[in-house]
Homo-oligomer: A and B are copies of this chain.
Amino acid sequence: MRESDFVSGFARGLRVIEAFGETRPKLTIAEAAKLTELDRATVRRCLLTLADLGYADYDGKFFALTPKVLRLGHAYLSATPLPLLIQPYLDQLSEKAEQSASASVLDGTDVVYIARASQKRVMSINLSPGSRLPAYCASMGRVLLASLPERDARDVLDRSDLKANTPLTKTDPDVLMEELRAVRASGYAVIDQELELGLCSIAVPVETDRGRVVAAINIGAPAAHVAAAEMATRYLPLLMETRKALRLVLR
């Protein structure tokens, strides 16, 4: 791509949108300028443009995003076959397991939920398509990282903010890399309360008919109800069955 084929005004605008979310819902021009590291005048124009298009509200001091920005994310979900294809399989899986089932893909250091069939809430945070979790401490993240070349997986870990969400969270990159090797060998990953106390999950990769890993699916369960050691015996057959069925419909 030639340098002249890059619309920097567009790229700057997207950065401004992403500046929300990380922090507070309302941003002043100066705050947004700091977060995006752009000139105040530039940020101001982007925000006024967003307001003019209805993507943001402006009360003279603060800018806040409007629900219209959800159209942007929705453009992906409704346009991409993967989430739509996986959803019915997830529903079945969730029903058989009597637990929540989800599907996700990797984006940078995060797993991004693309579909979900939820039973009763067990997590403190609410997950839905578009939600993100750090890959290093999520079962689907482990599976997706394991599917990458070692070098790339290590690179993701190095860029990750490896913090201990619970006393059980593994945060040493070397330990995590070893864990990934185990996941690669066994074909599944189990997380025992590394993300949140009281929550276990198990994940397997989802491949196309040619063996390319395109997503991961998982089942989450309360640790009080299903011990980590039980996760595999109880849910792995169901996950494998779903994985096999998906492999036949994904090209």
How far is the CB of A106 from the nearest CB of chain B, in Å?
Answer: 8
How far is the CB of A85 from the nearest CB of chain B, in Å?
Answer: 11
Please tell me if the beta carbons of B112 and A67 are within 8 angstroms of each other in the complex.
yes
Please tell me if the beta carbons of B6 and A45 are within 8 angstroms of each other in the complex.
yes
Q: Which of B5, B7, B128 contacts A13 (CB 8 A)?
A: B7
Verify if A87 is at the interface (C-beta below 8 Å from B): yes
Chain A 146-178 per-residue mask, 1 if CB under 8 angstroms from chain B, else 0: 000000000000000000000000000000000
Per DSSP, chain A at the interface is: helix
How far is the CB of A88 from the nearest CB of chain B, in Å?
Answer: 9
Please tell me if the beta carbons of B44 and A5 are within 8 angstroms of each other in the complex.
yes
How far is the CB of A213 from the nearest CB of chain B, in Å?
Answer: 14
In the bound complex, CA of A112 to CA of B71 (Å)? 9
In the bound complex, CA of A188 to CA of B184 (Å)? 54
Q: Which of B72, B128, B130 contacts A17 (CB 8 A)?
A: B72
Segment touching B, from A115-123, A189-197, A238-246? A115-123
Q: Which of B19, B75, B115 contacts A20 (CB 8 A)?
A: B75
State which residues 22-51 of A face B: CB under 8 Å. 22-25, 44-46, 48-51
In the bound complex, CA of A25 to CA of B83 (Å)? 12
Please tell me if the beta carbons of A45 and B5 are within 8 angstroms of each other in the complex.
yes
How far is the CB of A97 from the nearest CB of chain B, in Å?
Answer: 14
Extra contacts besides A1-B52, A10-B10 (16): CB < 8 Å: A1-B51, A9-B13, A10-B46, A10-B49, A14-B53, A18-B71, A20-B76, A23-B79, A64-B79, A67-B112, A68-B108, A69-B73, A72-B72, A74-B130, A87-B126, A128-B128
Top 5 A-B pairs ranked by shortest CB distance?
A73-B73, A10-B13, A9-B9, A21-B75, A70-B130
